[in-house]
Amino acid sequence: MKNMTVNPKDEVLSDDAWQELMGFDLMMKKIIKASSESEAVKPADAVRIDFEARYAADRTVLDGPLCQEAKDWLIVIGEKDVLPAVEMGVRFMSVGETALVWSHAKFAHGPGQRKHGDYELPPNSNVLYQITVRAILKPSATTADEIAIALSKKNIGNDIFANEWNPYGISRAKQQYKRAGELMEHLLQTGTWEDDEDDRFLQQKAREIMLDSFNNLAALHLRNKDYKLAKEASVKVLERDPENFKALIRAAKAALLDPASEFEEVEAALAAAASRSEHASDLDLQKLKEEFVRRKRAYKKKSKAMFSNKKKFESSIQTISEEAKEEADESNNDDGEETLVDGRSTIDGAPSSSVEEGMVAAAPEPTSTSRSNDWMDSRKWDWKNKVLPYAFQLLLTCAMYWYYTVLKQQQDEKIAAALQEVQFTQQLLNDNEFELLLSEPTLTQNEL
C-alpha cells in the first residue's frame, strides 16, 4: 500500500450517499472492483476480510505509518467486531473487492491509542484503511463455521488486549471474549454431536475456545484491577474444568489482590493451583506464594502493633480509674473514716470510747458546710456528659422563646407602625389633593 496511486477512474461512492451516511467523515474508493457475479455483503453476514490501517491526517495521504495489519479476520456485520469505519466500508463492498476507506478519528480509535511494532498511533488520529473482502459464509453456517467465528472473535480480542489498552479498547476486548465464550458454551449445550472422530474434534475445539475466552477475560480483569470480576471469570472456567491451571492461578492472584478476600481463601486457591501444577518450580506460582507470605507477615505485624496499642490504652485507662478510686477513698477518709486506735473503734474528730467501760460516745452533729460537701462528693458531677447537654438544651429553649415572643412582637410592632405611617401619608396626600381641587377657580358659563 505504500506509495499507492489511485486511478481517477476508480469507483468512488457518491458524495450524497456519504453525506447522508457519515456527514463527510468517511470517503471510500474502490481500487479493485468485483465481477458482476460477485456476492454483495449484507447485514448479519459473516465476512472474511484482510485490511491495513495507516495514519492519514487528510484524504490525500496514502503512505502514512502503518498502525494495524489484519489477515483473515472473520467478522459478523452488525456485531461490532471491528471499528465503525471498517464495518461501514465492508457493508458497501462485494466479494473480491479492495477499497480505500478514509475515516475521521471518531469512527476509528477516537481518543484512544494503538501500538504497532515501534509505532504508536496518537490519540484523535484520522486513519486510512485498505480493505479486501475475501469471502462470505453461507447463511446456513455449519458447526465448523460457528467455531471459526468464535475463534476469530477471541483472536480479535487478543489483538485489542495487546495493542489498544485504553478504556475504549478494554470495553471492546471484553465484548469479544465474552461473545466468543458464550457462543461456544451455547454450541456445546445445544449442538447435536455424533460419536465420531470429526465431531469429537470439533467438540474439543469448541471447549478449548470457550475456556480460553473466559480465561482471557479473567486476565483482562486482573490487568484492569477489577479483582472481583476476575474471580468470577476464573470460577466460570473452574466450573467447567476444575483442573484448569491458568484459571487456578488467576483465581489465586485475584483473591490475593482483592482487599475483600480472606487469607484462608487465598491459601486454598494457592494450594489448589500447586496441586495441579505440572512443574513444582512454576515461576508464577512461586511468585504468588512469596507475595502471599509477605502480605501475611505484614498483616500479622500490623495486627500485633494494633493489639499492643490497644493493651497500652486499656492499661492506661485502668491506671487512671485506680488513681481516681484511691483519690475517692482518701476523700472519704478525710470526711470521717472509721479507724482503729489502740484497739478501739474511733471516728476522727470524736472522743475515743471504750466498749469495755460501757461508755457510748456520741458523734458530733455535722455542720451545714460538711453536709453540702458530702452531697457534692457523692454526686460526682460529670459536667461534660451530664450538665452541659442539659444546659445547652435550656439555653436553646430560652433563645427560641425569646425569638418567637419578644423579637417577633417587636418586629410585628415595627411593621404595624410602618403600615400606619404609609396609610397616614396616603390620607394626607388625598386631603391635599382635595384641598387643591377646591382652591382652583371655577369657570363661569361664559368662559366655557
Angle at 319 between CA 326 and CA 300, to 5 degrees: 165
What was the pLDDT predicted at 86?
96
* Residue of higher predicted confidence among 95 and 401: 95
Q: 1-138 — its CATH code?
A: 3.10.50.40
pLDDT one-digit tens code per residue, 222-254: 999 999 999 999 999 999 999 898 999 999 999
Region for residue 336 given its phi and psi (left: phi exceeds 0; alpha: psi -120 to 50; beta: otherwise): left
pLDDT at 70 over 60: yes
pLDDT at 427 over 70: no
Nearest-angstrom CA–CA distance, 53 and 66: 6
Length reported for the chain: 448
pLDDT at 430 over 60: no
Domain ranges (residues) in the chain: 1-138
Cβ contact 250:212 at 8 Å = no
pLDDT one-digit tens code per residue, 359-415: 444 444 555 555 555 545 545 556 566 667 777 778 888 877 777 777 777 777 888
What was the pLDDT predicted at 323?
62
pLDDT at 287 over 90: no
Nearest-angstrom CA–CA distance, 325 and 331: 10
- Summarize the confidence of residues 278-303 as an average pLDDT: 77
Q: Residue 435 has which C-alpha cell?
A: 384641598
Cβ contact 316:308 at 8 Å = no
DSSP letter, residue 281: T
